[in-house]
Structure 1
Amino acid sequence: MGTSTIIMDERAALIRLFSWLSPAFPIGGFAYSQGLETAIAEGRVKDSGQLAEWISGQIHCGSLHTDAYFLAIAARAVTSGDWETLAEANSLCLALQMSSERDKETREQAKSFLEAASAWPTVTPNELNAAFERPMALPIAFGAKAGLQGVSPEAGVAGYANSVVAQQISVGVRLIPLGQTAGLVILASLEAKIAQLSTEALSAQLDDISSLSYGTDIASLRHEDLNVRIFRS
């Protein structure tokens, strides 16, 4: 059974997507480092080259890779009215959070995102409203809203991934520290990988979800033991 979505031209959909991904959008993403603060504190990420490698690994086989897949799966599920797949994807996404801090991060940001995105009201199926009332992971919430609001999955994944990359770079700029220009050089260098990820995610299925990022997972687990912490994860 399908569900209705808002019909918008591409320009209007992109404007809406840009609004959701704006640094001013009140979901608090600036407060999280996703384990990168630990890696910097322990001396494993000390310069722009190592920061680029850290983020590239997340795109290739880490949490950003799986989040992109989850986002696209959620968007397709909402567009087609496949509530079973949406629920299964959300449960798996929450289960894959590697630390209590990351679990809290994705749940709290999802809640904040859904509250803020309600500024763009639309008719929402009862099944989706019920899903939104339960704990949800951020990429699932983002993908679900993208599907409901007529934002293409490819644009949604590309924008979301680019935003996460930019946030990780901002952590490095602040903590390593790096200059703003050095951070932008990293962002520019990762454009092709972000684009490739957005293309791969279009056909992703739940059985394709996997990751291999022990270093970042351990960094996330060790973050709560740091003596001095600026970020929440």
Structure 2
Amino acid sequence: MAIHTIIMDNQTPLIRLFSWLSPAFPIGGFAYSQGLETAIADGRIRDQDHLADWIGGQLHRGGLRTDAYFLAIAARAVTNGNWTALSEANELCLALQISAERDKEMREQGHSFIQAASAWPIPMADALSAAFKNPMALPVAFGAMAGLHGVLPGAAIAGFVNSAVAQQISVGVRLIPLGQTAGLAIQAALEPRIAKLASRAISACLDDISALSYGSEIASLNHEDLGVRIFRS
């Protein structure tokens, strides 16, 4: 059974998306680096070009690509009322987290996002309400909420990935360190890749989920052993 959301005008879903992606939205994303802090600490990322390559790799075959796919799958599942597909996507997304820190990050931010988004009350199926009460990975929670609120999938994916890229750049700006101008240059240069990923992710299914990002995964595992840590992952 599909869910039909009543929206007052065409701009409302987009405005909600902007609010969810605001740095002020209380999910604590600023506290995590997804292993980037480790890569900077051990000298693998030392300048603007290194950081751009690292994030570009995540968009190509890493965690950012995978998150975009899960988001799209979750949004489509909620739009179509396919609760089995939503559950399967969430279970796989949580199972693929390579380290304890990344698993905790996914669960905590997913929970925080669902709680914060409840500021926009909206009718939902009992099955979805029950799903939101269980641990849910952030991209799945974001996609599910986007589908529920009638946010266009392409906009939701592009916005989510762009925000994640900005967060990674913020880590680099603070730790390498880089100037704000250099950070913005990376963001601008990665726009075509973000747009391309958003277009590809819209039709993704679970069989498309794969990654080849050993460097970031090992960095995430090693982050637990850093002597001095600013970020939580």
For the aligned pair, the TM-score class normalised by the smaller chain equals over 0.9
Count of residue pairs the alignment pairs up: 233
**Deviation sequence 1:6-37 (CA, Å, 0-9, x none):** 33544222111010000000000000000000
In the alignment, the residues of structure 1 paired with residue 85 and residue 222 of structure 2 have an alpha-carbon distance, to the nearest angstrom, of 33
In the alignment, the residues of structure 2 paired with residue 171 and residue 75 of structure 1 have an alpha-carbon distance, to the nearest angstrom, of 28
Shift of 1:203: 0.6
Change (3 A) 1:57 1:8: farther
Q: Which residue of structure 2 lines up, in the alignment, with residue 50 of structure 1?
A: 50
Matched, 1:194 2:194: yes
TM-score if structure 2 supplies the norm length?
0.99
**Deviation sequence 1:81-140 (CA, Å, 0-9, x none):** 000000000000000001000000010001100110000000010000010011100000
- On the 8 A contact 1:33/1:232 being kept in 2, the answer is yes
TM-score if structure 1 supplies the norm length?
0.99
- On the 8 A contact 1:72/1:157 being kept in 2, the answer is yes
In the alignment, the residues of structure 2 paired with residue 232 and residue 81 of structure 1 have an alpha-carbon distance, to the nearest angstrom, of 35
Matched residue SS, 1:211? coil
In the alignment, the residues of structure 1 paired with residue 69 and residue 9 of structure 2 have an alpha-carbon distance, to the nearest angstrom, of 24
Matched residue SS, 1:127? helix
Matched, 1:41 2:3: no
Shift of 1:2: 1.5
Mapping of residues 1-233 of structure 1, within 5 Å: 1-7=1-7, 9-233=9-233
Change (3 A) 1:171 1:12: same
Q: Which segments of 5 or more consecutive residues in structure 1 lack a partner in the other structure?
A: none
In the alignment, the residues of structure 2 paired with residue 8 and residue 42 of structure 1 have an alpha-carbon distance, to the nearest angstrom, of 51
**Deviation sequence 1:155-205 (CA, Å, 0-9, x none):** 000000000000000000000000000000000000000000000011101
Residue 102 of structure 1 aligns to which amino acid in structure 2? R
- On the 8 A contact 1:8/1:150 being kept in 2, the answer is no
RMSD of Structure 2 on Structure 1 (CA): 0.7
- On the 8 A contact 1:5/1:79 being kept in 2, the answer is no
Q: Which segments of 5 or more consecutive residues in structure 2 lack a partner in the other structure?
A: none
